């Protein structure tokens, strides 16, 4: 199909730009990705009464990322691209984390005050730093489309798919319930979103990691074989359709979807806090990427790879079906119920968080309160429609939009490199 060919070209450009820029900034900044002592140094920050702390926005950012991408997207990647995709997710996480450092750095310099909180992100440093309102507007429009029509839809699609696979409930009923509940919280605003995420994210993350650890320990004798399989298939052509190149591409795609490294999401979240230290915020961006990649993604990968997924024949998959079958294989009905609970909390926290990302970008375009109200209404209908739309259509849309956002974001960061590296030519 023509669309698939265009999508491949866009992603080829995006990956080339991401990897080239990542290597450049890694060398110039002397690899902050490996400075573990500094990475964890900046997490102790208290919340004030008026603004959100670094910890608040870190949790908020994680809330947007730990969702369909971490549970469904990883299973999707393994099913279509083979175990080798996990290796390329790890590689891209290490390399691309420097882009998260840079975008967090820039958003801290260029964020703006919005009543009692701040707002920021790529659109803001493109407009104020690059002084390119047209490119900033383009990024904002694409971001609104990505978050409101893509991310919101796939999260509800994932919840609805999982519930319909376990219970005899019509998708429209599930979708309507989630849309109404999410709509209520969206209308309440970012402060309520932050409070909800602060409570939900640590709990659901701990539950998921503990269950994953139990499954891993129970099958500890198989882990060396799994690791060898991941490494071997990352460099062979045995993946379904397309060989090693397809394995590489789908690994990077789903890795970026799960971590949102290079897309600019973490910059939008960090733009809401009261921190004014760009370097400190840059290291927080690295923390986010590492946490998602080396804990959440790896946990999901082990759960799926320790299950004979090769014998399953699925069409138009969301990805969560495979994770659900793997949970049932390992833990029986308890596994299905646990996954339903955790995934619902994961996806729901993502819904209410990424809505804020869309609103933040809209505020760059207009201050009109009616436009904000309209966006909230559109978001609710997008959530509703996501639950009853073919998952393949939503995944394809998100893939293309993420690549376009990454191209604009990485290009802008490189042009603003002197803001991050005072003397980029100094050896």
CA-based R_g, the chain, Å: 20
3-state secondary structure 326-371: HHHHHHCHHHHHHHHHHHHHHHHHHHHHHHHHHHHHHHHHCCCHHH
Q: Phi-psi category of 255—alpha, beta or left, where left has phi over 0 and alpha has psi -120 to 50?
A: alpha
Nearest to 16 by CA among 266, 254, 249, 286: 249
Task: Supply the DSSP symbol for 119.
Answer: E
> CA-to-CA distance for 381 and 417, rounded, in angstroms?
40
**Exposure of 168 by Cβ count < 10 A (0-12 exposed, 13-18 middle, 19+ buried)?**
exposed
pTM: 0.85
> CA-to-CA distance for 296 and 307, rounded, in angstroms?
17
pLDDT given for residue 167 in this prediction: 84
Nearest to 143 by CA among 359, 346, 379, 353: 359
pLDDT given for residue 28 in this prediction: 92
> CA-to-CA distance for 341 and 208, rounded, in angstroms?
10
> CA-to-CA distance for 62 and 353, rounded, in angstroms?
9
Q: Tens-digit pLDDT profile for the chain (427 aa)?
A: 677 778 888 988 999 999 999 999 999 999 988 887 776 676 665 444 445 566 666 776 676 667 667 787 888 888 888 898 999 989 888 888 999 999 989 998 888 876 666 778 899 899 999 999 999 999 999 999 998 988 888 888 888 888 888 888 888 999 999 899 888 878 876 565 556 666 777 788 888 899 999 999 999 999 999 999 999 888 875 544 556 677 788 888 888 877 778 888 778 877 666 677 888 888 888 888 888 888 888 999 999 999 988 877 776 676 788 888 999 999 998 988 888 888 887 777 778 778 888 888 898 888 888 999 999 999 999 999 888 887 777 777 888 898 999 999 999 999 999 999 866 454 4
> CA-to-CA distance for 5 and 290, rounded, in angstroms?
31
Q: Which domains does the chain have, with CATH numbers?
A: 52-415 (1.20.1740.10)
> CA-to-CA distance for 205 and 211, rounded, in angstroms?
10
Nearest to 285 by CA among 13, 65, 21: 65
Neighbours of 6 (CB within 10 A): 11
Tokens found for residue 405: 């956002």
């Amino acid at each position: 199909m023509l669309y698939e060919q265009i999508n491949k070209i866009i992603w080829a450009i995006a990956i080339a730009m991401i990897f080239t820029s990542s290597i450049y900034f890694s060398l110039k900044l002397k690899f902050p990705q490996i400075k573990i002592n500094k990475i964890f140094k900046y997490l102790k920050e208290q919340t004030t009464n008026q603004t959100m702390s670094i910890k608040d926005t870190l949790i908020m950012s994680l809330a947007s990322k730990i969702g369909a991408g971490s549970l469904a997207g990883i299973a999707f990647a393994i099913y279509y691209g083979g175990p080798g995709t996990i290796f390329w997710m790890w590689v891209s996480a290490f390399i691309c984390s420097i882009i998260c450092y840079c975008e967090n750095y820039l958003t801290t310099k260029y964020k703006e005050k919005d009543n009692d909180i701040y707002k920021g992100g790529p659109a803001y440093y493109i407009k104020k730093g690059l002084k390119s309102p047209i490119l900033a507007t383009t990024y904002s429009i694409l971001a609104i489309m990505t978050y409101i029509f893509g991310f919101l839809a796939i999260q509800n699609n994932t919840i609805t798919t999982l519930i319909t696979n376990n219970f005899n409930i019509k998708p429209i009923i599930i979708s309507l319930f989630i849309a109404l509940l999410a709509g209520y919280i969206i209308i309440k605003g970012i402060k309520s979103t932050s409070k909800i995420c602060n409570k939900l994210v640590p709990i659901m993350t701990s539950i998921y990691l503990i269950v994953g650890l139990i499954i891993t320990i129970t099958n500890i004798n198989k882990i060396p074989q799994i690791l060898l399989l991941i490494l071997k298939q990352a460099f062979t052509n045995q993946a379904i359709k397309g060989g090693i190149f397809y394995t590489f591409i789908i690994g990077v795609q789903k890795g970026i979807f799960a971590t949102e490294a290079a897309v600019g999401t973490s910059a939008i979240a960090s733009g809401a806090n009261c921190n004014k230290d760009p370097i400190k915020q840059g290291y927080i961006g690295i923390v986010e990427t590492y946490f998602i990649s080396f804990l959440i993604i790896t946990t999901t990968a082990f759960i799926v790879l320790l299950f004979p997924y090769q014998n399953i024949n699925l069409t138009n998959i969301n990805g969560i079906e495979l994770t659900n079958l793997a949970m049932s294989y390992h833990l029986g009905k308890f596994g299905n119920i646990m996954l339903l609970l955790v995934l619902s909390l994961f996806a729901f926290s993502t819904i209410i968080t990424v809505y804020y990302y869309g609103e933040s970008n809209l505020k760059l375009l207009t201050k009109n309160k009616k436009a904000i109200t309209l966006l909230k209404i559109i978001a609710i209908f997008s959530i509703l429609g996501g639950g009853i739309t073919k998952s393949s259509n939503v995944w394809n849309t998100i893939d293309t939009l993420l690549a376009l956002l990454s191209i604009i974001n990485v290009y802008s960061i490189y042009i603003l490199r002197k803001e991050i590296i005072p003397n980029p030519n100094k050896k």
